[in-house]
Amino acid sequence: MKKNRLIIVLWLSLISPTFAQFDTSRLNLSQALRLAAEQSPFLKVENYTVPLAEGNVTTAKLRPNPVFNNQSLVLANSKYFPDNTGFAGKSNRQVWYQLTKPFVPTSQRESRIEMAKRNVQLTASQLNETKRNLLLDVANQWLNVWETGVRVNLLQAAISNVDSLLIINRLRLKNQFSTATEVTRTQLLYDQYTVRMKSLQQNYENELNRLGLLIGSETTLRLAEPDSSEWHKLDKELSELIDLARRNRPDLKAAQQENLLAETNVALQKSLKKPVPELGLIYNPQNKIPYLGFFGTIALPVFSKNQGEIQRSKILKEQTTQAISTAEMQVRTEVQIAYGSYIIQKQNISRWKEIIHQSDEVLNTVRYAYLRGGTTIVDFLEAQRSWFDTQNAYYESLLDYRRSYIQLLYTTGLILETGN
């Protein structure tokens, strides 16, 4: 009887349905997003797009260069040469020097500059959209690492439980309190868990490497504790979140910038129907006699008045106006879907916490009954498997909740603030 009690006490001290958090270097989600915003190699490539667009502003401000023209003529027949002059003599030569400059209408130049500036703003919005998508990838990859790490710890806890049971059953077999079959069944479950552990550990390292690539880190990463306090509840109503999305979403801002760019393009194309005159001076010494003159050329807008491009620019303006309406509708729909999923998942988590508590109690009860001889090894192993499955299901639900939270940050554009 004393030996039986000793075995029960030893069992209770070795086995527990809870498990420790995996080792971390405290890289939480917010830190991962900030690192990605600062040093992601993919974002570094895209960051060049804005300076490139700014170069077009400099180009648009430049005025056209002056044009220099020279023509030289000499008499080809010597019988017409003036007296005492050779083939290259000044009396036998006519030279034409012309210096002109195109004069671009002010409306054309201003429209080009305005278009270049609008394009910089559009490029900046597109860069923010690229950043928003990258941060979503980083957040989801962070969750992939977190999920795999949780499963590693959960399996470690299960292995520890079964390993402790194996030790106890071997001791009980030695003292004739259990059978060889019970030891064998426990050993089989232990072997199954350990085989799965090797694959999970490798998957965990693979997911960490993928996260490191996204955030541009070459050092070994470890995540912060799974239940970090940064996972707070959004206390805003749906209407507030939609308004936030309309203000923050870079894809919507890009659609608005495209509309302004199209509007500026209409003005530019209308200004281009005006011809560009080229004016200048001529110096023309002919046979030692100098002449001065004026040069001017201008296209006559008889047939072409840029009608095609003007028509095209107006249609493009209508298209971008429609694109804004579509983008606003898309933003509203995406936020509604993300918010609905977030609310449901949050409710599910509350229910799952109750189920986890009940699962722990069932495992403790069956374990105690088994050690007292009140039930069989089959019942205990079934309770152990049920506990393990329940833990897995809980963390799957927690993962869905956190993904819905991240999706809500993404659809509202708040993920950009999290990454700053």
Domain-located, residue 290 = no
The structure's pTM equals 0.82
The SS3 of residue 104 is coil
Both structure tokens of 81: 């040469």
Higher pLDDT among residues 342 and 91, named by residue: 342
- Give me the chain's average pLDDT, please: 84
Question: In the prediction, which pLDDT does 86 show?
Answer: 63
CATH number for the domain that contains residue 110? 1.20.1600.10
Check pLDDT > 80 for residue 296: yes
Number of domains in the chain: 1
Higher pLDDT among residues 220 and 192, named by residue: 192
Residue pLDDT, tens place only, 100-109: 999 999 999 9
Q: How confident is the model at residue 168 (pLDDT cuts 50, 70, 90)?
A: confident
For 167, residues 6+ apart whose C-beta sits below 8 A from its C-beta are 14
The span from the first CA to the last CA of the chain, in angstroms, equals 65
Domain-located, residue 257 = yes
Question: In the prediction, which pLDDT does 181 show?
Answer: 77
DSSP labels, 119-146: HHHHHHHHHHHHHHHHHHHHHHHHHHHH
Domain-located, residue 150 = yes
Higher pLDDT among residues 267 and 21, named by residue: 267
Both structure tokens of 86: 């050779």
Domain-located, residue 71 = no
Contact 25, 222 (CB under 8 A): yes
Check pLDDT > 60 for residue 209: yes
Question: In the prediction, which pLDDT does 178 show?
Answer: 65
Compute the average pLDDT of residues 340-365: 86
Range of the domain at 28: 2-66+105-275+307-418
Q: How confident is the model at residue 232 (pLDDT cuts 50, 70, 90)?
A: low
Q: How confident is the model at residue 15 (pLDDT cuts 50, 70, 90)?
A: very low
Check pLDDT > 90 for residue 319: yes
Question: In the prediction, which pLDDT does 233 show?
Answer: 60
Residue pLDDT, tens place only, 358-406: 888 888 888 778 777 777 777 777 887 888 888 888 888 889 999 999 9
Domain-located, residue 16 = yes
The SS3 of residue 17 is coil
The SS3 of residue 280 is strand
Strands 93-102 and 292-297: unpaired
Domain-located, residue 76 = no
Higher pLDDT among residues 14 and 347, named by residue: 347
Domain-located, residue 359 = yes
Domain-located, residue 129 = yes
Ranked by mean pLDDT, which of 168-177, 223-232, 236-245, 317-326 comes out on top?
317-326
Q: How confident is the model at residue 187 (pLDDT cuts 50, 70, 90)?
A: confident
Higher pLDDT among residues 51 and 167, named by residue: 51
